[in-house]
Amino acid sequence: MRELSVDDVIQVKLGSRGLLVIGGPPGANRALLAAAVPGATLITPNQTWENTLHWAPSLLRYPLARVKHWLRIVKNALTVGGPIVLREPATRQITRTALRRLAWVSGRDLHLIWVDSATDEPRGRRLWLARRMLVGGATPPGWQSARVISRAKVRDGLTLRVTA
């Protein structure tokens, strides 16, 4: 096992009321970063998908899972006392707007780590969103911090260290 260098660790100062969104397109390895953040409540779409909706007709499963996932996000943002790590693609403007409003209503600081992929990864999607969102390294309005990292860095062992 190799030693971690400074370049292998992303530091995020989240605070006790922080909401960290690990965003990026499907297949960008967001789950690898979100897997182990001690002391934070982790919310992922998979938690909702795996634990519910086996009774629903297949046509309704995905929409119902999305609604239930968002209800979990809102409930946790309003009731959990500590930091929250949310694994959410956040590729749509409406999603990022909803997250900004939820952070404001719940009194949470909103942070973003965007796991970017090359334009041909994954599955040929056009992934210029992060570059457009964070032009010149500027943090988007409503977010306390934002950072873009590459899918390759995550795949190569980059880890996330969250501090209060």
pLDDT single digits (tens) 33-53: 776 677 789 998 888 877 667
DSSP helix, strand, coil percent of the chain (3-state; round to 5):
40, 25, 40
Cα 142 from chain centroid? 15
Residue 141 in tokens = 């309005």
Amino acid at 112: L
Contacts of 139 (CB under 8 A, 6+ apart): 145, 146
Q: Position 43: which residue type?
A: I
Which one is predicted more confidently, 132 or 50? Answer: 50
Residue 72's pLDDT band, with cuts at 50, 70 and 90, is: very high
Domains belonging to the chain, first-starting first, are 6-163 (3.40.50.300)
Q: Per-residue pLDDT averaged across 23-41, rounded?
A: 76
- For residue 128 the two structure tokens come to 């210029």
